[in-house]
């Protein structure tokens, strides 16, 4: 009898518990062809890390879809055309140049200098959450925070914050919409949003070219030489990428960490009472319930992997959710261990595309999680998680909570 493997990542069971599906695949067929996705599913830590460094696997994965499946006049084609220029979906040498120029916006000291501001923003959101007697921590804190942070870092005025959230949603419709939540009008809606967003960023770029400030956009403008600096279109694309890559992921990092760490009241209270434990707790949350479950690569050259021939033109899904719980790499992999060796997980990827915003994401998540545990004592998440049915992201739509916190300035 052959064992039936859970190789469709969009079944309700796999959406509810992707880690269980990945564990079965990892144990029985760590490089597995999934007919449902028409892709290879790779689940072992070492194989996924090796894949990040394998030139036979390309990140240039939007352009082939665009060329194969759409006509130039389609809305879909135009949306994918914008996205296909993002550095996350390019290979060297184009990627090398974009990454170097983007690096100007992510200098370690500048990001670290944001800490106080991020703490103030989190406090503001938690104040409002408590004052409004809020119950959903996604709507109240995890969702708004990263969009506000990115808007501020790009130098956009605070009045435009809400528009950033809307554009980010539209982008997510396209980039994460390949799963069961796909809606027929999603590309038209996204295109409208993206065109408005591009117009907005174009104005912001023009403004910063004349009147540079201390923001990320000004840093990216001033870092390039005349010959190889980012063009206006590239700067617009970079702003859109930073908004997209940094918003939903960070929202999910905060929401997933809160659910994981409050599931065990003893662990929750330990982390609340010892600020030094917030960092390792967030690292364990990123490893165990990381916001990105799967990264996709295109095969550009035939090669062998664990006895399989992986052929040019096929797709490979790198299951971060499988790799980050691989027992060959992590002792007792399904347990939160606050003394685990730091940052060996791959929730932020590895190699040339490793997340450029990881430091910022960590700061936001640590401050949000630490503040929530402190200011909402007895924090409990109600009910089972509801995850969006997408292949790539582990996204909770809401986080209904109860707690014993009181608004600032009041006593209970
Ligand atoms: C917890 C939150 C986050 C997670 C889990 C995360 C995860 C990742 C991962 C796994 C990659 C690698 C993609 C690949 O190899 O194909 C990546 C790339 C990237 N991330 Fe993040 N990310 C987060 C937050 C952010 C933030 C806050 C920003 C910026 C504001 C950001 C910007 C980017 C960019 C621009 C890339 C592309 C880098 C490249 O292609 O060289 N991310 N991220």
The answer to the question of residue 4 being in a domain is no
The answer to the question of residue 165 being in a domain is yes
Number of independent structural domains in the chain: 1
Please answer whether residues 269 and 370 qualify as being in contact, where contact means their C-beta atoms are separated by less than 8 angstroms.
no
**Which residue, 317, 283, 280, 285, is CA-closest to 298?**
317
**Which residue, 255, 237, 254, is CA-closest to 102?**
237
Cis upstream peptide for 93 (omega within 30°): yes
Q: Tell me the residue range of the domain where 70 lies.
A: 60-289+329-402
Please answer whether residues 10 and 391 qualify as being in contact, where contact means their C-beta atoms are separated by less than 8 angstroms.
yes
**Is the torsion defined by CA of 172, 175, 179, 184 positive or negative?**
positive
**Is the torsion defined by CA of 342, 345, 351, 352 positive or negative?**
negative
Measured distance between the N- and C-terminal CA atoms of the chain, rounded to whole angstroms: 63
The answer to the question of residue 364 being in a domain is yes
The answer to the question of residue 15 being in a domain is no
pLDDT per residue of the chain (412 residues) written in tens, 0 to 9: 567 899 999 999 999 999 999 999 999 999 999 999 999 999 999 999 999 999 999 999 888 777 776 777 776 777 777 788 899 999 999 999 999 999 989 988 889 889 999 999 999 999 999 999 999 999 999 999 999 999 999 988 888 888 888 888 887 776 655 433 445 566 677 777 778 888 999 999 999 999 999 899 999 998 766 668 899 989 999 998 999 899 999 999 999 999 999 999 999 999 999 999 999 999 999 999 999 999 999 999 999 999 999 999 999 999 999 999 999 999 999 999 999 976 589 999 999 999 999 999 999 999 999 999 999 999 999 999 999 999 999 999 899 999 998 887 776 5
The answer to the question of residue 30 being in a domain is no
Dist. CA 361 → ligand 1 center (Å): 9
- pLDDT, position 398: 95
**Which residue, 108, 142, 95, is CA-closest to 353?**
95
C-beta of 295 in contact with ligand 1 (< 6 A): yes
What is the best residue among 111, 348, 350 to mutate for testing ligand 1's pocket, by most ligand atoms within 8 Å of CB?
348
Give the Cα separation of 251 and 144 in Å (integer). Answer: 8
- pLDDT, position 82: 74
The answer to the question of residue 272 being in a domain is yes
The answer to the question of residue 39 being in a domain is no
Looking at residue 224, what DSSP letter applies? S
DSSP string, 376-391: STT-EE-S---B-S-S
- The CATH number linked to 362 is 1.10.630.10
> For atom 6 of ligand 1, which residue has the closest CA?
348
C-beta of 58 in contact with ligand 1 (< 6 A): no
Please answer whether residues 149 and 364 qualify as being in contact, where contact means their C-beta atoms are separated by less than 8 angstroms.
yes
Give the Cα separation of 85 and 394 in Å (integer). Answer: 25
The answer to the question of residue 116 being in a domain is yes
Dist. CA 355 → ligand 1 center (Å): 4
Please answer whether residues 395 and 291 qualify as being in contact, where contact means their C-beta atoms are separated by less than 8 angstroms.
yes
> For atom 19 of ligand 1, which residue has the closest CA?
355
C-beta of 290 in contact with ligand 1 (< 6 A): yes
Strand-pairing partners, residue 297, are 316
Dist. CA 354 → ligand 1 center (Å): 7
**Which residue, 149, 170, 153, is CA-closest to 104?**
153
Dist. CA 295 → ligand 1 center (Å): 11
């Amino acid at each position: 009898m052959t064992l039936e493997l859970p190789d469709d990542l969009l079944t309700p069971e796999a959406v509810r518990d992707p880690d269980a599906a990945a564990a079965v695949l990892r144990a029985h067929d760590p490089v597995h062809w999934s007919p449902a996705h028409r892709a290879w599913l790779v689940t072992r830590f070492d194989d996924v890390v090796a894949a990040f460094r394998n030139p036979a696997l390309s990140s240039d994965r939007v352009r082939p879809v665009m060329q194969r499946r759409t006509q130039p006049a389609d809305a879909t084609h135009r949306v994918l055309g914008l996205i296909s220029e993002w550095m996350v979906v390019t290979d060297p040498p184009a990627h090398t140049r974009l990454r170097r120029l983007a690096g100007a916006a992510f200098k370690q000291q500048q990001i670290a200098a944001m800490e106080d501001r991020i703490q103030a923003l989190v406090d503001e959101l938690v104040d409002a959450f408590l004052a409004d007697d809020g119950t959903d921590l996604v709507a109240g804190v995890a969702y708004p925070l990263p969009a506000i942070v990115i808007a501020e870092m790009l130098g956009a005025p605070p009045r435009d914050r809400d528009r950033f959230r809307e554009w980010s949603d539209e982008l997510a419709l396209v980039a994460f919409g390949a799963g069961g939540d796909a809606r027929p009008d999603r590309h038209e809606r996204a295109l409208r949003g993206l065109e408005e967003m591009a117009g907005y960023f174009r104005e912001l770029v023009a403004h910063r070219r004349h009147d540079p400030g201390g923001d990320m956009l000004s840093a990216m403008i001033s870092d390039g030489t005349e010959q190889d600096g980012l063009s206006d279109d590239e700067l617009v694309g970079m702003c859109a990428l930073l908004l997209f890559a940094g918003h939903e992921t960070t929202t999910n990092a905060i929401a997933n960490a809160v659910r994981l760490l409050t599931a065990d009241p003893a662990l929750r209270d330990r982390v609340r009472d010892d600020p030094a434990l917030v960092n390792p707790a967030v690292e364990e949350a990123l490893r165990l319930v990381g916001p990105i479950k799967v990264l996709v690569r295109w095969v550009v050259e035939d090669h062998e992997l664990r006895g399989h021939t992986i052929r040019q033109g096929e797709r490979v899904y790198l299951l971060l959710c499988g790799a980050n719980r691989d027992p060959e790499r992590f002792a007792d992999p399904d347990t939160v261990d606050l003394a685990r060796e730091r940052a060996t997980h791959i929730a932020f990827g590895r190699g040339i595309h490793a997340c450029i915003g990881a430091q910022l994401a960590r700061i936001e998540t640590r401050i949000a999680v630490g503040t929530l545990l402190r200011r909402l004592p007895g924090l409990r998440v109600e009910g089972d998680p509801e995850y969006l049915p997408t292949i790539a992201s582990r996204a909770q739509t809401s986080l209904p909570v109860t707690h014993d916190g009181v608004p600032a300035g009041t006593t209970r």
